[in-house]
A = this chain, B = another copy of it.
């Protein structure tokens, strides 16, 4: 069960079709024009807030945050290009990808030659519109398919970008789902991309459903869910929460979790953090996957793992950014994101969190020789509770390794058995008073104690 199957996921979430529900979130958010600031982010967070108790934070333009400054707020009302005949050949209302994000406002007439310096297309993928932005640069531009670019007739064009850059604020969302402990698990995703389904919306949908589910549980850890615009969002959040970071025990950036590719987990900077070990364990038992080392490039793990913070934050993806052709193009659309892939990503995330929630160290109370399990009816109890083989082995492994130094995850890894089988065995042994939980600080290294 460590790598939750779809049936497990349905049961735990009490949802008949988790992947469908996640895809619905993606579909609802898809049309909005998001950027690193502005109303698109606000509307997105409002919709997310219908599912989980989300606090929406506004940080004024110009606020210094670490080495950065919160930029001016960008909003766009309309944008188009009219050809010499007056026909709207590019129209923001048909796809928000047509406008380069954070474009300066413009209202002008110019010949095709001059306009072309502001047009972006993909010669290799002539039917797709690229996604471009000009954060932190004063520029403007349009994106369009290469086929359309080539069909534009010579002549005088009319251009409109009706956008504002002004004092406003940067907006992000934050939800704290309190557990029994003040120790936190940080989960973050991006909310800054416009109509791109996998790149941002898949992460939002995963955290939304996970957040709704966590709120119904009574977890040990408190969960902090962050919905941030890229880079500046993480920088801003870190700047404002610097004093409280010591509560973060594990963390995960969630992105690109909806495509049909295999799951990829990228390790934290530390490389052997508990979250790294939990995902390695879950993915090993879940079939084809890839685990990659940390590198200081990618998503907001760059900021969380900068040396002044060095938080134990990994990153969950399917196909990594830049490794699929649809990345940052109009082909990253609602078809590209698969309900079953979304559900699978959620199931694996949950499985890893279940490992972190339950990883404890125990002490065998009958450590000299094996206890006589048959006399206590433990073999019988195990047979009733669990399906399939390995039950007895799980009991023997937990008894043998529970010297206070090895956590359940250590035991699962050494035995090559799924965490859940080891946890079940430990539970049964606890009930029969053959184990006690190790006292925090007693001996070992792994696990929560």
Contact = CB atoms under 8 A, between A and B. Distances in A.
A267 to B, nearest CB: 12
B67 A372 contact: yes
A9 to B, nearest CB: 32
Interface string A301-324: 011011111100000000000000
Contacts of A68: 369, 372
A368 B403 contact: no
B297 A402 contact: no
B415 A295 contact: yes
Interface string A191-206: 0000000000000000
Interface string A84-115: 00000000000000000000000000000000
Interface stretch (A37-45, A347-355, A391-399): A391-399
Contacts of A297: 392-393, 396
B308 A368 contact: yes
A236 B136 CA distance: 67
Nearest to A234: B369
A166 interface: no
B66 A296 contact: no
A401 B293 CA distance: 14
A242 interface: yes
A255 interface: no
Contacts of A234: 369
Interface size class of chain A, counting residues whose CB lies under 8 Å from the partner chain: 35 or more
A370 B295 contact: no
A169 interface: no
A374 B296 contact: no
A418 B208 CA distance: 42
A305 B368 CA distance: 9
Contacts of A143: none
A117 to B, nearest CB: 20
B296 A368 contact: no
Given A296-B396, A302-B396, A396-B302, A307 B403 contact: yes
Contact of A368 (B309, B368, B372, B397): B309
With most chain B CB atoms within 10 A of its CB, the pick from A67, A136, A371, A415 is A67
A370 B67 contact: yes
Contact of A367 (B308, B368, B393): B308
A78 to B, nearest CB: 29
A400 B305 contact: yes
Interface in A362-394: 364, 366-372, 374-375, 392-393
Given A269-B400, A297-B396, A400-B269, A306 B66 contact: no
Contacts of A393: 295-297
Nearest to A375: B136
Contact of A374 (B136, B242, B366, B370): B136
30 contacts: A66-B368, A67-B366, A67-B368, A67-B369, A67-B370, A67-B371, A68-B372, A231-B370, A235-B369, A242-B368, A295-B393, A295-B397, A295-B415, A296-B370, A296-B393, A296-B399, A296-B400, A296-B401, A303-B369, A303-B370, A305-B400, A306-B367, A306-B399, A306-B400, A307-B399, A307-B400, A307-B402, A307-B403, A308-B366, A309-B367
Interface of A: 66-68, 136, 231, 234-235, 238-239, 242, 269, 295-297, 302-303, 305-310, 364, 366-372, 374-375, 392-393, 396-397, 399-403, 415
Given A67-B371, A306-B399, A309-B369, 4 more contacts: A136-B375, A239-B369, A307-B367, A307-B402
